[in-house]
Amino acid sequence: MFLGVSELVDKCIGSRIHIVMKTDKEIVGTLLGFDDFVSILKSKPSESLDF
């Protein structure tokens, strides 16, 4: 069985996530929720920039 993006992200709510942006910016936090466009809401986010 294959999951859609929203089902997969829904299973991750409450989990710690690590996001790597196209610009190589990295964001880490706990996934609190998302909307129909898979915009995310995190608690206590931190970011790391490698120059």
Q: Which CATH class is domain 5-48?
A: mainly beta
Coil, strand or helix at 24:
coil
Sequence spans of domains, the chain: 5-48
pLDDT of 6 = 74
Helix%, strand%, coil% for the chain, nearest 5: 15, 45, 40
Distance CA 50, CA 43 (A): 22
Give the largest CA-CA distance in the chain.
41
- What is the full per-residue pLDDT of the chain (51 aa) written as tens digits? 567 777 888 888 899 888 888 888 888 888 888 777 767 666 665 665 553
Whole-prediction pTM value?
Answer: 0.59
The CA–CA distances, whole Å, from 8 to 11, 36, 42, 50 equal 5, 13, 16, 29
